[in-house]
C-alpha cells in the first residue's frame, strides 16, 4: 500500500496583517477594543507582511525546481491568500504548473462575541466568558457564536482527508493562521491537549514561520522543523509573531 500523504508538506502562517498592527496599538494604549472596522476575512497584509511573504517566496525560489511546492492550499482569508500569491510569484512557482486551491476549512478560528476585543475588553464586557475560558481552557472553550480549538480541529480533519485523497505524492504548501498551524500539528503528530498547549505556551507562531514535514516511508509524515524563520532573517526582513487582531484571547 502506498503512503497516502504528500511527499513534503510546508505549513506557513500568513505574513503580518493590518490586524496584527491594530492589535499591538490597542494593547499599548490599554484599550478594550481593537480599532479595525472590517471583517476578519477581509483584513489585508501590512506592508511588512508583503515583504515577509516576498522573502519567503525567494527562499522557495532558491530551492531546486524539483523540491519546490506543486500544490498550494490557502485559507479563504485575504491575508492568507495575499501571502500565498506572493510566495508563488516570488518563489518561481509557475501558476500554470501549480495547483492553487482556496479552502474555507483552513480559515481563522471564529471568535463570535469576542471578535475585536482585547483581553482587557473581554474581562470588562464578558467576565463570564473570561471565567469560562479560565475554567475550561482554550482547547475546549467556545465563545458564543465562535469556535473552540476542538471545533477548528474537527474541520481540519476533513481538510486532511482531502489532502491525503487528492494530493498524495505532491509537495504541498498550506498557508493559514496561527491556531490552524497548531491544530494541524496536533492532528499530524497525534499530540495530546497538554502537549499542543505546551508548544503554544512556548511562543507565538511567527508571521511567515514555516513548519515542515517529510514523508517517512509508509508510516506517514515526520516533523522536520517548526516556526522556521531563517528565510526572513537571512534577507534582513523583520520577524513578527504577535497574535492576530481577533486572537487577543486565543
Would you say 53 is a known binding-site residue?
A: no
Confidence band of 249 (pLDDT split at 50, 70, 90): very low
**What CA–CA distances, in Å, run from 220 to 105, 141, 164, 213?**
22, 31, 10, 10
Would you say 135 is a known binding-site residue?
A: yes
**What local confidence, expressed as pLDDT, does residue 227 receive?**
97
For the segment 113-141, the average pLDDT, to the nearest whole number, is 93
CB-based burial label for 168 (10 Å; 0-12, 13-18, 19+): middle
pLDDT at 1 over 60: no
Catalytic residues, by residue number, are 14, 108
- In order, the DSSP letters of 10-31 are EEEEPPPBHHHHHHHHHHHTT-
pLDDT at 31 over 90: no
Q: What is the pTM of this model?
A: 0.93
Residue with the larger pLDDT of the pair 21 and 128: 128
Would you say 15 is a known binding-site residue?
A: yes
Would you say 20 is a known binding-site residue?
A: yes
Per-residue pLDDT tens digits for 33-52: 777 788 999 999 999 999 99
Burial 173-187 (b: 16+ CB within 10 A, else e): bbbbbbbbbbbbbbe
Per-residue pLDDT tens digits for 156-198: 999 999 999 999 999 999 999 999 999 999 999 999 999 999 9
Would you say 132 is a known binding-site residue?
A: no
Per-residue pLDDT tens digits for 54-102: 999 999 999 999 999 999 999 999 999 999 999 999 988 877 678 899 9
CATH assignment of 8-233? 3.40.50.1240
Per-residue pLDDT tens digits for 142-159: 999 999 999 999 999 999
Confidence band of 107 (pLDDT split at 50, 70, 90): very high
For the segment 18-34, the average pLDDT, to the nearest whole number, is 76
For the segment 205-227, the average pLDDT, to the nearest whole number, is 93
Would you say 17 is a known binding-site residue?
A: yes
The domain ranges of the chain are: 8-233
Amino acid at each position: 500500500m502506498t503512503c497516502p500523504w504528500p511527499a513534503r508538506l510546508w505549513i506557513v502562517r500568513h505574513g503580518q496583517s493590518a490586524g496584527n498592527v491594530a492589535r499591538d496599538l490597542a494593547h499599548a494604549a490599554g484599550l478594550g477594543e481593537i480599532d479595525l472596522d472590517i471583517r476578519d476575512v477581509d483584513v489585508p497584509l501590512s506592508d511588512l507582511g508583503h515583504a515577509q511573504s516576498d522573502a519567503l517566496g525567494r527562499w522557495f525560489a532558491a530551492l531546486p525546481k524539483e523540491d519546490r511546492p506543486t500544490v498550494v492550499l490557502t485559507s479563504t482569508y485575504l491575508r492568507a491568500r495575499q501571502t500565498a500569491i506572493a510566495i508563488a510569484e516570488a518563489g518561481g512557482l509557475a501558476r500554470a504548473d501549480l495547483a492553487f486551491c482556496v479552502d474555507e476549512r483552513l480559515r481563522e478560528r471564529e471568535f463570535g462575541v469576542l471578535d475585536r476585543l482585547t483581553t482587557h475588553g473581554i474581562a470588562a464586557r464578558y467576565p463570564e466568558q473570561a471565567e469560562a475560558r479560565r475554567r475550561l481552557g482554550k482547547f475546549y472553550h467556545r465563545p458564543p457564536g465562535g469556535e473552540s480549538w476542538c471545533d477548528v480541529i474537527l474541520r481540519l480533519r476533513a481538510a486532511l482527508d482531502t489532502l491525503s485523497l487528492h494530493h498524495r505524492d505532491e509537495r504541498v504548501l498550506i498557508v493559514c493562521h496561527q491556531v490552524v498551524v497548531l491544530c494541524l500539528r496536533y492532528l499530524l503528530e497525534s499530540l495530546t491537549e497538554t502537549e499542543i498547549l505546551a508548544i503554544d505556551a512556548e511562543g507565538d507562531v511567527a508571521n511567515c514561520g514555516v513548519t515542515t514535514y517529510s514523508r517517512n516511508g509508509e508510516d506517514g509524515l515526520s516533523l522536520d522543523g517548526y516556526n522556521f524563520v531563517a528565510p526572513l532573517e537571512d534577507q534582513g526582513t523583520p520577524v513578527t509573531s504577535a497574535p492576530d487582531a481577533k486572537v487577543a484571547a486565543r
